[in-house]
Amino acid sequence: MKPRCRFEEETFASRAGETLNNGIRLGMLTPSSNTALEPITTAMIGGLPEVSAHFARFPVTEISLDKSALEQFEIEKILQAARLLADAHVHVIGWNGTSSGWLGFDEDDLLCRQITEATGIPATTSVLALNEILAAKGALHFALVTPYLDDVQQRIVENYERSGYRCVAERHLNLQVNFRFAGVPEDQIRSMVREVAAAGPRAITTFCTNFKAAHLAPELEQELRIPVYDTISTVVWKSLRIAGVDTRRVKGWGSLFSEEL
């Protein structure tokens, strides 16, 4: 990214020097009621001694299409958390959440632009990274696994259809309280993934960053012979790439990190 002013030029130079001395810092924007993504993200980068993850929360307690739930994702609220991450001189800011699945992918494009304008730091999101992966792999037919409500799930499917993707199978749990998503048993997630795999998708996504699913990808991929892309994994993958880290060094979290895209 080309610096736009002397301040930004000095900021980028400062971060480059700090990288040599203090490692690479990934900034993650986190829903306030999420208990899964922080430990999963930290474990995912555990084999990268020079990389650390840093988190800023903003209020998110439920996922629905009600007005109050949609207002949780107003950009200014997220930008306030992003500015706090910028104080830690992180090298990239990732929105570790899937809200643009039902709000529309343009929302994430706008959010990333505004984060970078406000902080001078490159930004990405779980969903934009997932969409980049699906496009690169030509996975126009995919399957969707979430804990979400019926109407939220339908909105996600419709948004993908408008973007040229076909959801050939889906499973969801009709849950609304975000905190509860992390309590879904692993065996239930495994079962949902196996059920959608029967439709023969080119890829399967576990689409929720408070779902304890990312670590299941290797075993499910080996069993089903279908790539499984978790939305915590996708934002970590893209954040590492932006920061210049070879993602092939991340072991044990599925084919995503070893694929050439």
**Tokens at residue 25, please?**
């810092």
Residues 133-155 have a mean pLDDT of 97
The sign one gets for the Cα dihedral 150, 151, 157, 160 is negative
Look at residue 3 in the predicted model and tell me its pLDDT: 38
Q: What is the separation, in whole angstroms, between the first and last Cα of the chain?
A: 20
Residue 21's pLDDT band, with cuts at 50, 70 and 90, is: low
What pTM does this model have? 0.91
CATH code linked to domain 136-229: 3.40.50.1860
pLDDT for residue 87: 98
- The confidence score (pLDDT) of residue 261 equals 72
For 106, the 3-state DSSP assignment is: helix
* Token pair 């990405």 in the structure block, residue: 124
Q: Residue 68: is it exposed, middle or buried by C-beta count within 10 angstroms (0-12/13-18/19+)?
A: exposed
Q: Provide φ and ψ at 99, rounded to 5°.
A: -60, -30
User: Where does residue 176 rank: exposed (0-12), middle (13-18), buried (19+ CB within 10 A)?
Assistant: middle
Please, what is the average pLDDT of the chain?
93
How far is 73 from 91, CA to CA, in rounded Å? 23
Q: Where are the domains positioned within the chain? A: 6-128+233-251, 136-229
Query: Is residue 212 classed as helix, strand or coil in its secondary structure?
Result: coil
Enumerate residues 6+ apart whose C-beta is below 8 A from 138.
202
Assess whether the region 6-128+233-251 and the region 136-229 belong to the same CATH fold.
yes
pLDDT, tens digit (0-9, with 9 covering 90-100), for 172-192: 999 999 999 999 999 999 999
Residue predicted with more confidence, 8 or 83: 83
- What pLDDT sits at residue 84? 97
Strand order across the beta sheet in which 228-230 lies: 166-171, 141-145, 203-206, 228-230
**DSSP characters for 132-177?**
HHHHHHT--EEEEE-S--HHHHHHHHHHHHHTT-EEEEEE-----B
What's the pLDDT score for residue 12?
42
Each residue's pLDDT tens digit, 89-132:
999 999 999 999 999 999 999 999 999 999 999 999 999 999 99
**3-class DSSP state of 131:** helix
161 φ/ψ angles, rounded to the nearest 5 degrees: -60, -40
pLDDT at 5: 39
Q: What are the backbone dihedrals phi and psi of residue 31, each rounded to the nearest 5 degrees, phi first?
A: -60, 140
CATH code: domain 6-128+233-251 is: 3.40.50.12500
pLDDT given at position 10: 45
- Residue 84 and residue 104: Cα distance in Å, rounded? 26
pLDDT tens profile 27-67: 999 999 999 999 999 999 999 999 999 999 999 999 999 99
